[in-house]
């Protein structure tokens, strides 16, 4: 059943190529591998750091949060609402958040490197990037946030040279060749 009031607006050729055409998959492969490598190495370093996941788990994130809270007092680097979240939620649960960050970074990295659930992995990577940005940390976070956002937009083709090529059809998101696809009527 087709909704007669719906208007179909075709994609422009550049968007269609970047986000729906598997010929652009090599571009996304390069971006995906770069972002995945950054997350994987950052997470692996945390998993092997006593202050993140060892006997002193929570120490590193406590120091990070205290630094962010100091920035919220000094000026506008950290918004008041985010400082409240850090102080009342993250700080009392520093050990838990320490493991969540370390394991989350590794999982995002693995998902992107192997091209498995690329859009979801990129989304959670972007969420962590924006969390670090809200805490007043620049570093590589703005670049990774932008690239992760693009990977989320390109989810249909970003994992073409990866496990998504086989996993997404199994999950009910099959690709169709140009011969078999047509826009909605």
152 in any annotated domain: yes
Rounded to whole angstroms, how far apart are CA atoms 94 and 155? 32
Task: Residue 135: give the domain boundaries.
Answer: 36-166
Helix 94-114 to helix 25-47 angle (10° resolution) is: 150
Tell me what pLDDT residue 88 has.
Answer: 97
67 in any annotated domain: yes
User: What token pair was written down for 43?
Assistant: 């997470």
Q: What is the DSSP letter of 166?
A: H
User: Per-residue DSSP letters for 25-67?
Assistant: HHHHHHHHHHHHHHHHHHHHHHHT-HHHHSTTTTHHHHHHHHH
Q: What is the full per-residue pLDDT of the chain (185 aa) written as tens digits?
A: 667 888 888 889 999 999 999 999 999 999 999 999 999 999 999 999 999 999 999 999 999 999 999 988 877 789 999 999 999 999 999 999 999 999 999 999 999 999 999 999 999 999 999 999 999 999 999 999 999 999 999 999 999 999 999 999 998 876 665 554 444 44
Tell me what pLDDT residue 8 has.
Answer: 86
125 in any annotated domain: yes
CA 117 to chain CA centroid, Å, is: 11
The H-or-E segment that residue 13 falls in is helix 13-20
Q: Is the pTM here over 0.75, yes or no? A: yes
Tell me what pLDDT residue 178 has.
Answer: 57
16 in any annotated domain: no
Tell me what pLDDT residue 110 has.
Answer: 98
Tell me what pLDDT residue 2 has.
Answer: 67
4 in any annotated domain: no
Tell me what pLDDT residue 183 has.
Answer: 45
User: Closest Cα partner for 157 from 20, 35, 16, 30?
Assistant: 20
134 in any annotated domain: yes
Placement of tokens 């992995």 in the chain: 121
Tell me what pLDDT residue 96 has.
Answer: 98
- How many structural domains compose the chain? 1
22 in any annotated domain: no
Tell me what pLDDT residue 172 has.
Answer: 84
């Amino acid at each position: 059943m087709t909704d007669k009031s719906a208007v179909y607006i075709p994609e422009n050729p550049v968007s269609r190529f970047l986000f729906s055409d598997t010929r652009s998959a090599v571009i996304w492969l390069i971006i995906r591998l770069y972002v995945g490598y950054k997350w994987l190495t950052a997470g692996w370093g945390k998993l092997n750091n006593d202050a993140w996941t060892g006997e002193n788990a929570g120490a590193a994130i406590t120091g990070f949060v205290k630094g962010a809270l100091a920035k919220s007092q000094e000026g506008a680097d950290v918004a008041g609402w985010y400082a409240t979240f850090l102080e009342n939620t993250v700080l009392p649960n520093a050990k838990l958040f320490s493991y969540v960050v370390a394991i989350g970074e590794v999982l995002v990295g693995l998902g992107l490197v192997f091209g498995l659930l690329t859009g979801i992995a990129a989304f959670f990577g972007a969420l962590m990037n924006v969390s670090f940005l809200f805490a007043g940390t620049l570093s590589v976070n703005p670049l990774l946030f932008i690239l992760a956002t693009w990977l989320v937009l390109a989810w249909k083709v970003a994992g073409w040279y990866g496990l998504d090529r086989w996993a997404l059809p199994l999950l009910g998101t099959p690709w169709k060749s140009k011969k078999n696809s047509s826009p909605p009527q």
